[in-house]
Structure 1
Amino acid sequence: MHDILIALSVSFMAFVSTSMDNLFLLITYTLHPKYGIAKVRAGYLLAVLIMLGLSVAFAHGMQLLPAHIVPWIGLIPIAIGLYELWLLRRGGPDATAETEDIGSAKRGSVLAITMIMLTHSWDSIAVLAPLLSDTRPGLIGWMAVSVICAAILLTLFAQKIVGHEKIRIQLARYAPKVLPFLLIAVGLYILTNTPTDIT
């Protein structure tokens, strides 16, 4: 039971930490006249399911590597975290700028939302695939459930804060600053020997 709780919490945090850009897109799409709440939720959740499938597929491929190499895959999220830190140091584009052009999709369809959300999910795949590859097979289902629950909570949270301008501004300001440290923490978790590991 203890191992399941660790797997649930780590996968939940790993997904949420790499989904801040999608959260801003969820908020913006909810406000967009071409899209209703139902389309936004359906498109995003479909993107999450595809992303999760890709992560599991990549993880399965990584598990074919020698067991002593698998933990070193944790260097991937660490590298992404360090890159995000570097972008912050040089004043890279913030998350709010990313959401300004999302109305460029020609149709307000579920598929359009799914495709755009997927293009913003590469970092989730880069973190979840190594995490899943370093996890015992019996815990992967629990981690998938955790990711889906986190996605549902993000859609509800996005809907809730649509009417709160101050919260949106604070999220846009601080989320990019927290993300690199969460990514590095996930990478270190993969590198270390933990109860959820394959070996």
Structure 2
Amino acid sequence: MLDHVIFALSAALAQVLTNLDNLAALIALMLVSGAASSVAGFLLAQMLVLVAAMAVAYGVSDAVPHWAGYLGVFPVGLGLWGLWRQFSSHAEAPASPLPAGASVVVTTLLFLSMSVDSFIVMAPLLADSAPSYRVAGLIGAALAVCALAALALAGARATSVAERIARRMEKIVPYVMICAGIYILSNTWTDMVQ
């Protein structure tokens, strides 16, 4: 049981760290479009990402169970690309392109486009895990998404401080993706196939 809790916490941490850019965008977007549609779009997008990651996990484990661990190559590759971008350019992230009063559908699409890194980490992590660990990981990631939404609501009052913290924390995301990829590539106790 404790190992499931630890795996859920690991999945939650991966979800939080790959969503720091979304958190900064959510806080900024809440000031422009309002809290209700922004948070609803964020939550809907993240739930779609988690459902898609779980679907991929079950699809891969059914189709090619012995190859699921090799999906770790994708987070490692994306993490290395993120490190390269981090050290090769110092361009600031563009401001939110959404007009005031953007709908839930528009904000959902924005957050889906920004959540590729979360999907690339969560899908292999869940695919390479036994079914009971998948459920624990999904629960941990979903709770992390809810915590991020609550944090964004609280952070909307102290926007400049929250955005600065989120932007600084974003710098560790490539390292997290590389570590998650290496974990997926290694044969661990959460794996579906030992």
Give yes or no for TM over 0.5: yes
> Where do residues 77-88 of structure 1 align in structure 2 (5 Å cutoff)?
77-88=75-86
Of stretches 75-84 and 56-65 in structure 1, the one that deviates more from structure 2 is: 56-65
Report whether the alignment pairs 1:116 with 2:110. Answer: yes
Q: Which runs of 5+ in 1 are unaligned?
A: none
What is residue 168 of structure 1 aligned with on the other side?
A: 163
Aligned length: 192
Measured after TM superposition, the shift of residue 92 of structure 1 is 4.9
TM-score by length of 2: 0.90
Q: In structure 2, how many angstroms separate the alpha carbons of the residues matched to 1:80 and 1:122?
A: 10
Q: In structure 2, how many angstroms separate the alpha carbons of the residues matched to 1:119 and 1:6?
A: 29
Task: Tell me, yes or no, if the aligned pair for 1:51 and 1:125 is still in contact at 8 Å.
Answer: yes
Q: In the alignment, residue 56 of structure 2 is paired with which amino acid?
A: F
Q: Deviations over 1:119-178 (max 9, x none)?
A: 111111111110110011122222222111111111111122223323422332x22321
TM-score by length of 1: 0.88
Identity percentage of aligned residues: 31
Measured after TM superposition, the shift of residue 23 of structure 1 is 0.6
Q: In structure 2, how many angstroms separate the alpha carbons of the residues matched to 1:42 and 1:170?
A: 23
Task: Tell me, yes or no, if the aligned pair for 2:45 and 2:112 is still in contact at 8 Å.
Answer: yes
> Where do residues 147-186 of structure 1 align in structure 2 (5 Å cutoff)?
147-164=141-158, 165-172=160-167, 174-186=168-180
Seen in structure 2, the aligned counterparts of structure 1 residues 37 and 101 have a Cα distance that, compared at 3 Å, is closer
> Where do residues 21-170 of structure 1 align in structure 2 (5 Å cutoff)?
21-32=21-32, 35-94=33-92, 97-98=93-94, 100-104=95-99, 108-164=102-158, 165-170=160-165
Q: In the alignment, residue 120 of structure 1 is paired with which amino acid?
A: M
Q: In the alignment, residue 61 of structure 2 is paired with which amino acid?
A: Q
Q: In structure 2, how many angstroms separate the alpha carbons of the residues matched to 1:167 and 1:113?
A: 20
Q: Which runs of 5+ in 2 are unaligned?
A: none
Q: Which runs of 4+ in 1 moved over 6 A?
A: none
